[in-house]
Structure 1
């Protein structure tokens, strides 16, 4: 697991990859292409806690209001076939950030887990605050 610092845990993408497995949903909940998440006890223990992770900013809409953090830049991210859904996470900023697509960021915020919503990533960071490495 990542390194614990004063008030947050520093996560690596391998922590997220190792902290999740999937199972087929029950027949009444089947949504094509979606599998329900099963999180490890270590990752579950971090839910609702402050974490830090570094990755590439992805902006998914023209109004710049939907943000993801990715293990890889856009050209090789999960959506383009490199890695699985555990290599991206939703970012919920309190204020609209001024960063640009593919900018390398270190993001701090509160970690939440998604086991069953097919319209969201399996991991989410709320109250996100970020710094750039430019």
Structure 2
């Protein structure tokens, strides 16, 4: 009997360890920025200093809801934004913490400004200015309820 309880406990904790964590844009807002010089571009960019709570999410499977943005004419660059295209980070309404880069294994069928819930593995990026500070890899998504 003890072995069955132990196996059930291990199975349950393993499952809970791999389940995705639902996060919000407020969770990702726990970051500060400083201007940092990047010699390769001879420019200053906002360099993120992620809080311990945000760092704890790195490498975890997370789910977050936002607006789907397809900003590439070839349909290869996808973004999840806290706000719709008309008020997104690029339009100056939010900061870098209000958008994330999405990497899908196959092209999604969402349309611009669809409200979606995306699940993927969170990657924090502070050094590669050609990519967002927040990146979701291995993404799957669905229209939000």
Match of 2:29 in 1: 17
Offset of residue 31 of structure 1:
4.9
Kindly name which structure, 1 or 2, has the bigger radius of gyration based on alpha carbons: 2
Answer yes or no: is the 8 Å Cα contact 2:36–2:44 preserved in 1. no
Match of 1:58 in 2: 69
1:95 aligned counterpart, secondary structure: coil
User: When you count helix as a share of all residues, which structure comes out higher?
Assistant: 2
Offset of residue 27 of structure 1:
7.1
Answer yes or no: is the 8 Å Cα contact 1:31–1:118 preserved in 2. no
Match of 2:83 in 1: 72
Q: In the comparison of the two structures, how many residue pairs are matched?
A: 130
RMSD: 2.0
Query: TM (normalized to structure 2)?
Result: 0.82
Equivalent residue for 1:48, pick from 59, 68, 86:
59
Deviation >3 Å, runs of 4+: 26-31
1:1-134 map, 5 Å: 7-18=19-30, 20-25=31-36, 28=39, 31-133=42-144
Return 5+ residue gaps in structure 1 as ranges: none
Query: TM (normalized to structure 1)?
Result: 0.88
**What is the rounded CA distance, in whole Å, between the counterparts of 1:5 and 1:11 in structure 2?**
16
1:45-90 deviations in Å (ceiling 9; x for gaps): 1111100000001111111110000000001111111111110000
Answer yes or no: is the 8 Å Cα contact 1:110–1:128 preserved in 2. yes
**What is the rounded CA distance, in whole Å, between the counterparts of 1:78 and 1:25 in structure 2?**
19
Offset of residue 42 of structure 1:
1.0
**What is the rounded CA distance, in whole Å, between the counterparts of 1:55 and 1:45 in structure 2?**
21
